[in-house]
Structure 1
């Protein structure tokens, strides 16, 4: 990557990453993943940047070695990266076990010359998760412990930073019961012991049973989290109630962040109506905070989340949602992506939370859809109001309202591999008495050449910014990209970005970035041992063909002429007149495919079967039509295990990619936080801040908004990562997951067509990964987060 601009970064950087899987004899799997960069960050962090991990597996034994992450439950270990060893043992029996051991934070020395560098003690941790399934009753126990090494730092940390060596112990008990068919009860109780300073004196109080597993100090406190729900499923709907209570300051060193100091009592319901054209999901209840009566005021409110999707017609789709649940929420506008300079720029979020209300409306309409031309228009509107609760001072708890509006139009010419997109976006933010508006258009064109091996694209955008009605400047950028696939294995990509910033208060700034990428995908193919077919035109083959026509073949040819059919297909003999053979095909199709829960494209095939039976009445070329239909049935049946392997491979690869990106998600937000905390207006009161110049207020508002909005990237990343991780148990796909069923419905028919045409597994993997990401992104945006 080459960069020339105003940002404080190296002109040349490179990134290497890879995912390899060694399969031995079709039994042993040894996945390996790694990432490396020469990116020179301004200061060291307790998190690793360059990573290497390997995941050997054998049957029901899966191991994770190196820089990895595991998830036990939301209240114990949930996606926190560590360097060490983990294992998942999932035999066919009722007993399952997972374990981990490793370094959760590396030692980071204090550097007085770099105040933004946060020092940290080396933190080691280990955990164990066990579960036992009694058919309709399941019980599990989780144990996790992490401890800082006080001797891991040589340079003393100043007392004013309030950073001390800590220790954490978490024990969780989880259970699920199928009371009766469709009625399920789930429960998890977790207790966390946190010692804030290991240098404190020990106590003999043993005020909690966890005190037997931890050296109780004067600064040791105990926190509890409780979650229970009961759900009844019926037809295409469900009803349920839930209760959740999380003590103030509850936390675990096995997770990055989550809400605490809250109590929720909720009821939920889902229902599909009108043959699935309308789906509704409602979650409503009561929420309160200040569980220990320690705050100046207590918040009691009615909470609700409503999601609806309406397929008004085959062309028109409506999706709407609303939520006012307390959650970690960050706002991100389209302009964060449009004006992003670094194409590999990701971010992390630190421990912050917000109370928020969210509402969204998405409209999509297909103007035309044919082989020659496809047109779509869309409109999306989101509203969110937040109150930052990270700080303790009242002046930091500002309420912010965000309005985002986007309209887009796309036209595609599939036969010419050409797509044109146009969009207009607007973002309006209101912070106390100040407001900011950003708006502008975007145009992009994508074209593929040489049988879609060469991909090209160009986009241009312009956005204007105003603060309290006064223009603050504009940003114009141009992007160009091209990619070429050579022999299906080599993928070359070249991207260029030119961005021009015009600011009314500061000097103009320009950024230019060029990124060159190369990826290679390889596998070890089995040798093709099939013999070549003989040339039927050769004289010898003509003689052999004539000899090979035995009595049965001659009889079949004769019977065909007499409206009587007899042929063999996959070991089954179909015999009789056209109607009888059609009935036999229907029976076999039901047994072999239609009655299987894994079947896909059923409605299409059933229509083809109806047409086949109509042809049987007319007796038009019936035998060939019958064989063609059987081909359609069995080729789909044969594809099911292929798809399962592709799906497992894609999910595993995506999970590794997400794990590898973990550290990359940690720097942008930290930088935004640093800029906010070091801005001169940040430490002022609200009145003092309002008395500052408009330019200073606007600059602070931009930094503050960026600090808030940047986090949504990480939240979406974490949501995707947790969901993908939950779909894979060991290295196996959870087949009964609703998400898996939905993903199959979205992708199985399309991937089947791709497989039938060219058997290009690489393209199928790329398409499937994109669809999985899109699916969970839609789920994330429509959820209450």
Structure 2
């Protein structure tokens, strides 16, 4: 065991990226102690232009880039370096290190870890610290202690904050029982507190308004989540999440907490975990749903309500002051050949009546996918969002009191694929239309209206024997605004073919022609390109990528100048 302890401690110090999965200690002895992999890339770029524009880059430039990755007993440490005539740097793309070694049902968290235990308490926040998760059977236990955020002060050069923040420390805990996809109940708690000594008084004054000190805060969030499955296979369910968050915005405030703000029972119990004073406020958030769900088919009904100002130090952002009710059906017919799904509901804000305006929205979306034959199918999508904003208590006598608008989007994408012994055909058509309409007669609202139409038709031909792929794509884009119309349409052709043994050499050609009209001013854009790659064995590769573009409006203006550009890139890659 001693011969495993030293590499394990080294791995904990070196650590890995936050995105890395948990390291299974049960297989540690079978893993290689140290491995080094990565890529090295050298490329030279040639550039030339003509016309009424300024050069976008130097005529000749070079870049040497490397991405080595050191792996120590399964813990990856990626590095990166770049050397060019403009930049010389050595970077560590993941400057937050952490790992989660696992042994059977026990997992330890060390360093920077991003955890989600509840949608309203600990929801995807990155902590720097240490923690432990135990999942023996149906029981869940978790504890994470450390720093939620580091202190940031005022930039002495610019006078700006980046943004201003105290060092924030605390803990998160979880206790529950059950199986996630059937029935369970989980309790979570998050406690965070700002360290007032982590930022100087001068910086607190600079970041405050009207010469006042920015005050540290403290937060206690308690949450519960549950799911109850019914029936033989638990396909029928009721689920929900609820949380209460006590947030003290000014630690050390002399204002006394009133009985009307929080009941004395809360003060006597939770007051032992958080400092309560006149700046303390209580917020709630909850959601509940019920339905039937099996293999992506079923019906869900869900209600979600988040009070104004709700926040937790264990999450970065909440859309607060919102309540919505949604119904989400999903089902399949004709042996899965027709699949339908959607979501429909209503949403509103101003839950406490504290705003001058209340916004009500109808929200809905629907999608359908059909496979009529093995070759032919179609996808349909539709969304509709209608907002009606009314001044609270106002009598509707003029549209100046009202913001009412609807946004709609509809898309259809038929597809046809035919594969034969000697050739293959693929056809895809996609049409998408979006509109924004103001329901009132206010002139300013009408200025924001638009209609956008996007369509493309793609055809691809694959010839099996010569290993040749040919493609043609027609694009059409039209945007109608109150100021005028933008229209672009054009054709792009492409060809791609591998050569030599094991497809070591690949050559691709492309060409495009685009007609454009900018508020009635016509023009065109043409382009051509060549891309070749050659793999010399397992470790070496060479490539050439050249492109030419000509922008040719009918009138040469500062807004739309005439120009041509040519760019060529020669590169070499080494993989180890």
The verdict on a shared fold, with TM-score over 0.5 as the criterion, is yes
1:55 aligned to 92, 95, 99, which one? Answer: 99
Matched with 1:626 is none
Is the counterpart of residue 293 in structure 1 residue 318 in structure 2? no
1:258-294 residue CA offsets vs partner (Å, 9 max, x unmatched) = 5333222222222211111001113223322222223
Partners of 1:121 and 1:150 within 8 A in 2: no
SS of the aligned residue for 1:285 comes to: strand
User: Deviation per CA, 1:210-262, whole angstroms, max 9, x where unpaired?
Assistant: 66544346555443221111122469842232111122343445445453332
Asked whether 1:189 is paired with 2:247, we answer no
Question: Distance in 2 between the 1:58 and 1:171 partners?
Answer: 27
Residue aligning to 1:138: 184
* Deviation of 1:478 (Å): 5.2
- Find 2:461's aligned residue among 411, 419, 422: 411
Among residues 273, 280, 301, which one is paired with 1:241 in the alignment?
301
Distance 1:356 1:130 in 2: 43
Q: Give the Å deviation of 1:138.
A: 0.6
**1:74 Cα deviation after fit:** 3.6
Which of 318, 334, 345 pairs up with 2:378?
A: 318
Change (3 A) 1:448 1:19: farther
Q: List alignment gaps of at least 5 residues for structure 2.
A: 1-42, 48-53, 85-91, 388-404, 439-443
User: Comparing both structures, which one devotes a greater share of its residues to helix?
Assistant: 1
Does the aligned pair in 2 maintain the 1:383–1:401 contact within 8 Å?
yes
TM-score of the two chains, using structure 1 as the length reference: 0.51
Q: Pick the aligned partner of 2:432 from 378, 382, 399.
A: 382
Question: Residue by residue, what CA displacement relative to the aligned partner does 1:369-400 show, whole Å, maximum 9, x if unpaired?
Answer: 12432111111122345699xxxxx9999555
Shift in Å at residue 38 of structure 1?
5.8
Report deviation, 1:309.
0.7
In structure 2, the CA distance between the partners of 1:444 and 1:252, relative to structure 1 (3 Å rule), is farther
Contact kept? 2:154, 2:164, Cα under 8 Å: yes
Does the 8 A contact of 1:121 with 1:152 survive in 2? no
Answer whether contact 1:109 1:153 (CA < 8 A) is retained: no
Number of matched residues?
Answer: 474
- 1:305 match: 365
Q: Indicate conservation of the 8 Å contact 1:262/1:290, yes or no.
A: yes
CA distance in 1, matches of 2:197, 2:446: 36
Q: Could you tell me whether the CA contact under 8 Å between 2:362 and 2:386 is conserved in 1? A: no
- Cα distance in 2, alignment partners of residues 38 and 19 from structure 1: 15
* Segment of structure 1 superposing worse, 285-294 or 65-74: 65-74
Distance 1:300 1:215 in 2: 37
Q: Distance in 2 between matches of 1:356 and 1:386?
A: 5
- Partner Cα distance (2:428, 2:358) in 1: 42
Question: In structure 2, how many angstroms separate the alpha carbons of the residues matched to 1:494 and 1:98?
Answer: 53
Consecutive unaligned residues in structure 1, runs of 5 or more? 24-29, 41-47, 328-353, 389-393, 522-785
CA distance in structure 2 between the aligned counterparts of 1:253 and 1:184, rounded to whole angstroms: 30
Structure 2 residue matching 1:191: 3-state secondary structure: strand
Quickly say closer, same or farther: Cα 1:59–1:434, change in 2 above 3 A.
Answer: farther
User: Once the 2 structures are TM-superposed, how far is the Cα of residue 124 of structure 1 from its aligned partner?
Assistant: 3.7
1:110 aligns with 2:110: no
Q: Given the alignment of the two structures, is residue 179 of structure 1 paired with residue 230 of structure 2, yes or no?
A: yes
- Who is 1:663 aligned against? none
Query: Are residues 1:229 and 2:289 paired?
Result: yes
Higher strand share: 2
Cα 1:129/1:453, change in 2 over 3 Å: farther
Write out aligned runs for 1:340-355 (5 A): none
Equivalent residue, structure 2, for 1:31:
75
**What does residue 390 of structure 2 align with?**
none
Aligned to 1:361: 412
- Of 252, 257, 273, the residue aligned with 1:204 is 257
Q: CA RMSD in A?
A: 4.6
